[in-house]
Structure 1
Amino acid sequence: MSATSDGQVRGGLTGGLIMGGLLLGAVLAASLPLIAAVLVVDALPGVGELRTDGGLARLVNLVWAYPGLFVAGMVASGVGKGLKGRGRSRVTVLAVETTIMVASLTAIMFVVFFVDLAGALLATAIALVLYWPFVRFLERGVRKDEEEQAREVVDASVS
């Protein structure tokens, strides 16, 4: 970045490349549980037969699979909020959201990677178990941020 004569900062090509690299790196890092699930199920004899067309380049599909899973999560969250607004029980909302996520991830796994539905279902289960600590970690950070914002609002109202 460099400053112009009037003091404004303008971005350069380097900044854009760095931001693009960070975004791609975040998507790749978030795809690691999916990659691990595919590789684990592939190693199981008789269950995880992978599609062979495309070779290792097929793993590149995980780059779009994670954003696809994110979109499915947004849909599941929206449906869950709609059900909560209609007075449905928490168990019902959780069951519907989980069903949407499992169906979405299974569809991605089955269409892209596995010949048999059993392999896709097992890979889905493994991926969801691997994502669990990651999600818990992110939720903990969100709670801390919400608590800090609430304290700031209280402090501002007191002053």
Structure 2
Amino acid sequence: MTDLIQRGLALLDSRIFNGLALLVVRLALAAQFWRSARTKVEEGSWLTINPITYDLFRDEYHMPAPEITGTIATYAEHMLPVLVMLGLATRFGAAGLFVMTGVIQLFVYPEAFWNPHVMWFGLALILVARGGGLFAFDRLFDRGLTPNAPR
């Protein structure tokens, strides 16, 4: 029985399992922001910002300079999740989503800390700390940047 438990724990500690877990974390975090980003653009367009987005930033979010903050947020909500989903500059993308979550928490929906913001903070922190994992494009660059990276 002990041997079976040890084998199960070894499987959970394997590079493949950790890579799959980080892939799921990447997709879970990125999906939240991607879905939000798509609500801010004209239907059928890639990045044509819907004028309603500026009203949202002015009237509901009470952000200063809604044309500027709405544009920056919309572009960031499109680009950062793509980086995170692909595992390309994962730590940078996750750090950006962490900062965006902080802005949302502090200035837009301060009552939403436990649900869902704490989850977004946690997912982003995992990716900042661990990187994209085995199934990330970052792995292509790890060997050149990190002397002790696994081969």
Q: Which has the larger radius of gyration?
A: 1
TM-score of the aligned structures, taking structure 1 as reference length: 0.25
TM-score of the aligned structures, taking structure 2 as reference length: 0.26
Structure of greater relative contact order (alpha carbons < 8 Å, 6+ residues apart):
2
Greater per-residue helix proportion: 1
